[in-house]
Amino acid sequence: MTKIITIAQQKGGSGKTTLAANLAVSFSLNRKLKTTILDADPQGSLGKWFIQRESKLKDKNLIKMKTSSLWGVQYESNSLKDKTDMIIIDTPPKIDADGRPAIQIADLILIPVSPSQVDFWATESIIDLAQREKKKILVVINRANAKSRLLNEAKQFISKMKVDQSNTIIGNRQIFISSMGLGLSAIEKQKSGKGSTEISSLASEVLSLL
């Protein structure tokens, strides 16, 4: 049965697109799952990554991609269900009520939050939206500096929200930036690096909830 993950966050710059791309590659390469990314963000960053990827890898690229409006994600997702194992929906920031279809269709809402007070404030509303739809939620600390005092504050914030928090913390690493620019993922550019290990670990946690 096809599983759908919606990556959502009210604040821009939380790393949604980078997580979507890296998780898609991890599911496809490490887990041998047919994976489709559904880009519902008008900025189109995921689409640009995918174009770079197809140009570089050609027929070695096993990931599929579709684009959609937020209101069209349910139709597109349902049309893909007999063709893929995993669908990852990348949403724009500030989705509120417009993003409800992307929340409703998902089996899991993955919410990246950077260790900053502004991110904490933005995260509350998307958690509330997902909870109202009675969805499984996993909050992952993303773009983190291991030495920052805000890291502990982020953990405490998530704990107070009474939602699942991933054991994996995704660091603020250059490998994510450099690999995205090439149409690749961290695990393809640096298989034994910390970024690759973090993504593989997060992918395992996500699959355990589906």
The stretches of 105-193 forming alpha helices (DSSP H) are 117-132, 150-160, 174-181, 186-189
pLDDT grade, residue 96 (50/70/90)? low
Q: Span 3-209: which CATH code?
A: 3.40.50.300
191-194 contacts: CB < 8 A, separation 24 or more? none
In this predicted structure, what is the pLDDT of residue 97?
Answer: 67
pLDDT grade, residue 192 (50/70/90)? confident
Residue 98: pLDDT over 80: no
In this predicted structure, what is the pLDDT of residue 163?
Answer: 95
Average pLDDT, integer, range 129-140: 96
Average pLDDT, integer, range 78-83: 94
Average pLDDT, integer, range 45-57: 96
